[in-house]
Amino acid sequence: MKNEQYILAIDEGTTSVRAILFNHAGQIVGQAQRLIQQSFPHPGWVEQDPLEIWNNTETVISEVLFQTETPPYKVRAIGISNQRETTVVWNRKTGQPIHNAIVWQSKQTNELAQRLKDAGNQDLIQQKTGLLIDSYFSATKIQWLLDEVPKARQQAEAGDLLFGTIDTWLLWKLTNGHVHATDMTNASRTMLYNIHTLEWDQDLLKLLNIPSSMLPTVHESSHFYGYTQEFTLMGVQIPITGIAGDQQASLFGELALEPGMTKNTYGTGAFIMMNLGQTPRLSEHGLLTTIAYGLDGQVSYAFEGSVFTAGAAVNWLKDQLKLVQDVTETAEQAQTAAPNDQLYVVPAFNGLGAPYWNQAARGAIFGITQQTDDKQLIKATLESLAFQTRDVLETMTKETGLPVKSLMVDGGVSKNEYLMQFQADILGTEITRAPLTETTALGVAYLAGLQVKYWPDLATIKEITRTTHRYQPHFSVTQRDARYAGWQRAVQATQLFAEDKHD
């Protein structure tokens, strides 16, 4: 349409950054994507170059506008979604990062996290932030950078350094250094933000010795953050009006906006979120309490269970084991595999997430026989994603008393037909897949569009939402519980091995 305007979503994930244009119907008009390199300086460490992330972001924005012949003035607003917890510290005067970004997966701050635990800070941190002490979150990453990068602490105490998760870094660059801000969802993943008072917690900043001058201003997820500066989009200043961490953006994109509504995003990891409504509650069984979104003066909360290795396990089959040439082949390979219900893969490549939170655990395979072949190993690896999801959902149901009647799924791995059917079978629950697997980008587009009245209200958005596919469970209760019991034994054995190894 000649006069149509669009919302531009920047979806900065762990392995790539994409720019996606959405129209009023919530449909993709065009998209561009660039990979982001990861470096592994030491075993367990994962880093990225913040300048590469920014340069690739600039590139994909230009590419999607060029490919769709969309002049920048037709972009009504921009939303930013990002890999969460990944930490950048840079000099406010030079704009230069002091070190690579430390990625959420990285284990280089395990020792700092363990010290916090050993000092008895777990209850304090969970009460304030809803999180469990783990190197996963930003706080220990900031502390590590200040301690390990020469002169960093002196610069920080002089007020010269800024911290941000990737959304903050991109916002700062897009606004040419005029805006240093983040949204509540990303702030709630730092282990420094009080989710009750909605402020940076001074007790925690003192505990970790982090100067408050480094921290961004925190706003709602749908908020006018600022304008792009002249040099970024051919002289056109476009409002940036939506920011959300990738999993919260996905929850919003699924419109899981009522208490008890639950989604799972199968990406590099798998992230299961249950909407808790406007009253936060703390988990007793390894779940995280997080801010789901801030909108129209109200804050909604969610339970989250983080599975560290999901799509990464599927990529492992291709990249390391060379069992397939393309990950899309895994569904057919699994469907044609000979039955082997005793084979279990526990893909704890970077430890175990919820509800175990075992950083020392590493991957394991159980039940191998002489008859075990490539197809069975592929099948067991896919099934591990479904088992890990059940771990989290059972914990959520136990804590809330809310049964999961239907699980909304999205993310790249949700296209795997074998996995989705097995997920329904092992849960005994209907699975509904979103029409777009890019619900993270769609969610932040909704948040940005609502702020500028591109969509007048949520009711308008709900009218355009559709479900692509439904998967109904076929297993009997006995069958699914027997399979799940085998998985639980495999996880228990994996953790026992980790304990023995570190005795």
Enumerate the domain spans of the chain.
6-247, 257-433+473-503
pLDDT at 269 over 90: no
Q: CA dihedral in degrees (483, 487, 488, 489; nearest 10)?
A: 100
The average pLDDT across 51-57 equals 96
Beta bridge partners of 410: 265
% of residues, the chain, pLDDT over 90: 74
Least confident of 85-89, 119-123, 205-209, 305-309: 305-309
Q: Write 436-439 long-range contacts (CB < 8 A, 24+).
A: 436/26, 436/28, 436/253, 436/410, 437/410, 437/411, 437/412, 438/11, 438/18, 438/20, 438/28, 438/31, 438/410, 439/249, 439/250, 439/253, 439/254, 439/265, 439/410, 439/411
Task: Count Cβ atoms within 10 A of the Cβ of residue 176 and give its class: 0-12 exposed, 13-18 middle, 19 or more buried.
Answer: middle
Per-residue pLDDT band at 500 (split at 50, 70, 90): low
- Segment 8-33, tens digit of pLDDT: 999 999 889 999 999 999 999 999 99
- Residue ranges for the known binding site for ADP are 14, 18, 268, 311, 412, 416
Task: Count Cβ atoms within 10 A of the Cβ of residue 224 and give its class: 0-12 exposed, 13-18 middle, 19 or more buried.
Answer: middle
Phi and psi at residue 267, to the nearest 5°: -120, -140
Q: Tell me, what's the pLDDT at 502?
A: 46
In CATH, the number for domain 257-433+473-503 is: 3.30.420.40
Q: Tell me, what's the pLDDT at 88?
A: 97
Cα 31–chain centre separation: 20
Residue that the structure tokens 């244009």 belong to: 21
The average pLDDT across 91-111 equals 93
- Residue ranges for the known binding site for sn-glycerol 3-phosphate are 14, 84-85, 136, 246
Preceding omega of 355 cis (within 30 degrees of 0): yes
* Element at 91 (helix H, strand E): strand 87-91
pLDDT at 501 over 80: no
One fold for both 6-247 and 257-433+473-503? yes
- Residue ranges for the known binding site for glycerol are 84-85, 136, 246-247
Output the furthest CA–CA distance in the chain (Å, rounded).
68
Winning range, highest mean pLDDT, from 78-87, 253-262, 267-276, 281-290? 78-87
pLDDT averaged over every residue in the chain: 91
3-class secondary structure, 275: strand
The average pLDDT across 48-61 equals 96
| Parallel/antiparallel/unpaired status of strands 47-48 and 75-82 | unpaired
- Segment 434-479, tens digit of pLDDT: 777 788 999 999 999 999 999 999 999 988 877 678 999 999 999 9
Q: Tell me, what's the pLDDT at 350?
A: 81
Instruction: Tell which residue, 418, 337, 362, 354, has the closest CA to residue 388.
Output: 354
Q: With the C-alpha atoms ordered 418, 423, 424, 425, is the resulting torsion angle positive or negative?
A: positive
Least confident of 155-159, 228-232, 254-258: 228-232
* Element at 52 (helix H, strand E): helix 50-67
Q: Tell me, what's the pLDDT at 231?
A: 60
- Residue ranges for the known binding site are 14-16, 18, 84-85, 136, 246-247, 268, 311, 412, 416
Per-residue pLDDT band at 503 (split at 50, 70, 90): very low
- Residue ranges for the known binding site for ATP are 14-16, 268, 311, 412
Instruction: Tell which residue, 140, 148, 224, has the closest CA to residue 189.
Output: 140
Least confident of 151-155, 280-284, 467-471: 467-471
Per-residue pLDDT band at 307 (split at 50, 70, 90): confident
Q: Tell me, what's the pLDDT at 286?
A: 82
3-class secondary structure, 218: strand
3-class secondary structure, 266: strand
In CATH, the number for domain 6-247 is: 3.30.420.40
d(CA 240, CA 242): 6
Q: Tell me, what's the pLDDT at 43?
A: 87
Residue that the structure tokens 């809803």 belong to: 130
Q: CA dihedral in degrees (482, 483, 488, 492; nearest 10)?
A: 100
